[in-house]
Amino acid sequence: MSNKSKRDSPLIQSVLALDNYLTELERIGTRINSADMTSDIDVEFIQKLMTRFAECGQGISEEVTNLSTHLQEAQARAEAVAQGVSSQAELFKVRRNEQNEKLEQFRILGEKVRDLNAAISQFRRPHGNGMTAEDRAVLTSNIPAFEAQVTTLIEELQNLRESARNSRMKALEKNAESLVQTLQVVCKKLRDLRPSV
């Protein structure tokens, strides 16, 4: 807010007017108090000072009333803004909790994917070393269980991705989609390893 618009606010104008009346009241009061009323005085001049002093007193009274009104209006505006911020804070809290919950779901699913990857990795052999017949038999017997785990993880991740999309959590939606695509590739590789019937 610029200084000019601050000076133009009714609250500031009221404070400035009150300050002017107080300054003038003090100035005139000092002149009246310093006048020697027992000596030869200019009655008209003293009467003008008294009248001006009364006007300043009236002006102070009016400006105090105006200031009080402006302060009440400012308080009402501040309370309305605070109520809006309070509502927004509650919505933010709900959103933050929802986001944390979904991120925790993704973290747990990521751990499940890592565990599955570790289980499948035990069948990998260093380059150049082939699988033994026994290794191939164990792998073949585990393929249906691995496929079931992958399929379940894909479904859970797709549900999380859809939930993230509905909640407009783009980064989580993209991460879930990426993991779904990776698991779909794994699922295809597992199907390719299955023996032909």
What separation in angstroms does the CA of 23 have from each of 46, 56, 77, 82, 175?
Answer: 19, 9, 30, 36, 69
* Closest C-alpha to 162, from 150, 180, 183: 180
In this predicted model, what pLDDT tens digit does every residue of 154-168 receive, in sequence order? Answer: 999 999 999 999 999
In this predicted model, what pLDDT tens digit does every residue of 41-63 receive, in sequence order? Answer: 788 999 999 999 999 999 999 99
Residue 143 has pLDDT above 70, yes or no: yes
In this predicted model, what pLDDT tens digit does every residue of 127-138 receive, in sequence order? Answer: 656 667 787 788
In angstroms, the CA 43 to CA 161 distance is: 91
Specify burial of residue 82 (Cβ count, 10 A radius: 0-12, 13-18, 19+): exposed
In angstroms, the CA 148 to CA 131 distance is: 23
Q: Where are the domains of the chain?
A: 3-87, 122-193
In angstroms, the CA 196 to CA 192 distance is: 9
Residue 130: phi and psi, rounded to 5, are -85, 170
Q: What is the DSSP string of 106-163?
A: HHHHHHHHHHHHHHHHTT---TTPPPPHHHHHHHHHHHHHHHHHHHHHHHHHHHHHHH
> Which residues are CB-neighbours of 30 under 8 A, at least 6 positions away?
none
